[in-house]
A = this chain, B = another copy of it.
Amino acid sequence: MVTGDELLLLYEQMAVIRRTEKAAHDLFLSGLVKGTTHLAAGHEAIAVGASAALRADDYVFATYRGHHHALARGATPEECLAELMSRATGLCGAKGGSMHLTKASAGMLGSYAIVGAHLPMAVGAAWSARLRGTGQVAVAFFGDGATNIGAFHEALNLAAVWKLPVLFVCENNLYMEYTAIADVTAVARPAADRAPAYGIPGEVVDGNDVVLVQEAVDRLARRARAGDGPALLEASTYRHYGHSRADPAAYRPAEEVERWLKHDPLDLARGRLDGLGVSAEAIGAADERATAVVQKAVEAAKAAPAPDPAEALTDVWADGGAAWRN
């Protein structure tokens, strides 16, 4: 079981993510973030709980809604926000943007914007870990909507057949873009109810409780490392903002929103911290540190330069260039 001090660290990570997402939202509305953003406020416990259960050299693959995973794996708010704000100092040099946050050096192998596409990649990373005998696991995080696309099926079957150390973690926030997952899915639990089709464990966890997430991922990752194969974890959660950009999410019933906002990951963690005897001051100090980090990050990102246009024609190939002909 987690100690108060350990949990306080996780809490602070979640607080940083929450504030980074709020900053991204505000920056988008003020025109400083172009394109689109898919904010993960509300999903913090999944990223932070899972990361806490993983090794530093494990592999994570995420979606366009992936800020929380990048941050939980060690990307700084500054490099994330700089990326969103099209700065040369961004995580991907402003070539990726909000949907493609990647920090390979921290095992965050990318955010992919084609629903479901990264599940087979995670299978491949797990295969690679097994071939190299490293004991690493790979984790693919994906939304409820991804459970109905073909790549999901192919990835789970292959992972099961090859008994690979890969975890499939579904962040079930009840909605795809503007349509409820329940309206377009043949089973009640879009992920967990599919696990038997691949002969693998399928579990459901409260994705807003960072401790429960950590425990579940820890257990399934140990199992995977021990050679017992993949597992599917469905983490229930809810997004605080709309799907993307300025979506007001009017399609969600008010009672539902209210109910979920009362089941907030940060609140839950605070309750647990209290139970573990962590003082309100200590929690408040963590909150303040988080606020300060994100504020500084916003300032630094704002001050950073735009990328050199010449960068557009680099890094297609491993030699750093983009020449397709002589």
A194 to B157, CA, bound (A): 11
Chain A residues 150-193 with CB under 8 Å of chain B are 150-154, 156-158, 160-161, 183-187, 193
Q: Which of A153, A161, A184 has the most CB of B within 10 A?
A: A153
- The answer to the question of A277 belonging to the interface, with a C-beta cut-off of 8 Å to chain B, is no
- Return 25 A-B CB contacts under 8 Å, by A number: A148-B154, A148-B158, A149-B150, A149-B154, A150-B150, A150-B151, A150-B152, A150-B153, A152-B153, A156-B186, A157-B186, A160-B186, A161-B184, A161-B185, A161-B186, A186-B197, A186-B198, A186-B199, A186-B200, A187-B197, A187-B198, A187-B199, A193-B197, A196-B197, A197-B197
Q: Which residue of B lies closest to A230 (CB)?
A: B186
Q: Which residue of B lies closest to A150 (CB)?
A: B150
Tell me, rounded to whole Å, the shortest Cβ–Cβ distance linking A187 to chain B. 5
Chain A residues 184-228 with CB under 8 Å of chain B are 184-187, 193-194, 196-200
Taking CB atoms, residues of chain B closer than 8 Å to A196 are 187, 193, 196-197
Number of copies: 2
Taking CB atoms, residues of chain B closer than 8 Å to A200 are 186
Taking CB atoms, residues of chain B closer than 8 Å to A194 are 197
Taking CB atoms, residues of chain B closer than 8 Å to A156 are 186
Q: Which residue of B lies closest to A182 (CB)?
A: B161
A148 to B161, CA, bound (A): 11
Tell me, rounded to whole Å, the shortest Cβ–Cβ distance linking A256 to chain B. 21
Q: Which residue of B lies closest to A155 (CB)?
A: B150
Tell me, rounded to whole Å, the shortest Cβ–Cβ distance linking A203 to chain B. 16
A187 to B194, CA, bound (A): 12
Chain A 240-276, CB-CB to B under 8 Å as 1, else 0, gives 0000000000000000000000000000000000000
Chain A residues 53-80 with CB under 8 Å of chain B are none
A154 touches B161 (CB 8 A): no
Cross-chain contact of A154 among B150, B157, B187, B193 (Cβ < 8 A): B150
Taking CB atoms, residues of chain B closer than 8 Å to A199 are 186-187
- Beyond contacts A149-B150, A186-B197: 4 other A-B pairs, Cβ-Cβ < 8 A, are A150-B153, A153-B153, A186-B198, A187-B198
A204 to B49, CA, bound (A): 42
